[in-house]
Amino acid sequence: MHLLKLRAGAWEFAPTVWPTLAALFFFVLTLWLGNWQSERAETKRALQARYDAAERDIPIHVGSTLLDRDSVLYRKLEVEGVFDDAHTILLDNRVEGGVAGYHVLTPLRINGGALAILVNRGWAAAGRTRDQVPAPPAPAGVVRLEGLAADPHTRYVELAPTAPQGRVWQNLDFARYAATTGLRLQPVLLLQTSSYPDNLQRNWPRPDSGVSTHVSYAFQWYSLAATLAVLWLIMNVKRCHDGDVNSRL
């Protein structure tokens, strides 16, 4: 069953229903995936622009009132308090320079109130075996930290929900962490930039890291959409032979 039939000299364009619907479905799908990757790239560019602007600002002081998460993301923060090392967790499978390791997260009880802020203190290398889990001690006493506010709900790929094994967590489940520890937490994760002699590495990625990858993926999806459209046109254009032309007269 043909959708339409168009003649131009000895050429005929006569697409059929089901192949056309299938081509349309995959064309729309690949176009949507290309747009999605383009939006991801634009979002990261916007975050980087916000980060660059915030670099010139003075740090926001974190006190006894809750922060507005969206307004402080990727802004510089400063906070004073005491580390609660008893609630330190390690995020597994974090790679630095090609070496597997952990991110060390410790809550800081903020001076002057009942709130705490979860601090990503940095990266530590894994031991030679899975049983050798690093335990870098947190600085004792009152400390003053500076760092970057990050979204605590960002998750790495996880094939299936994995229960924490002691202090080792596969991903940061912020709600679960707050419920487990009983702490009232600020709604951001602080990526520590202040230097302390704890042998932890703090090489935080730029917010725009991966933009080129998203742009590359978007180009591939758009190219595939264009290829599908061209193939659909080519496969539905046929040259009419003399017998075919006479039979249609």
pLDDT in tens, 108-129: 999 988 999 999 999 999 877 7
pLDDT tens sequence across 44-83: 888 777 777 777 778 899 998 999 988 888 889 999 999 9
* 204 is a domain residue: no
Does residue 85 share a domain with residue 181?
yes
92, 169 Cβ separation under 8 angstroms: yes
116 plus 158 within the same structural domain: yes
161 and 87 in one domain? yes
| 133 domain residue, yes or no | yes
Whether the predicted pLDDT of 91 surpasses 50:
yes
The pLDDT score that the predictor gives to residue 211 is 84
The answer as to whether 197 is a domain residue is no
The pTM of this model reads: 0.68
Unique residue bearing structure tokens 């609660």: 84
The reported pLDDT for the residue numbered 165 is 62
Is 179 found in the same domain as 118? Answer: yes
Residue 96: pLDDT over 60 = yes
Q: Are residue 95 and residue 169 in the same domain, yes or no? A: yes
| 89 token code pair | 């967790």
- What contacts 225, CB < 8 A, 6 or more positions away? 27, 30, 31, 34
User: Could you give the number of structural domains in the chain?
Assistant: 2
87 and 147, same structural domain?
yes
Q: How confident is the model at residue 208 (pLDDT cuts 50, 70, 90)?
A: low
Are residues 182 and 84 both part of a single domain?
yes
State the residue range of the domain holding 229.
6-41+211-247
pLDDT confidence tier of residue 28, bands split at 50, 70 and 90: very high
Statement to judge: residues 141 and 172 lie in one domain? yes
Is the same domain home to 130 and 231? no
Cα–Cα distance for residue pair 230/42, rounded to 1 Å:
28
Q: Tokens representing 225?
A: 């959409």
Which amino acid is present at 25?
Answer: F
Is 87 a domain residue? yes
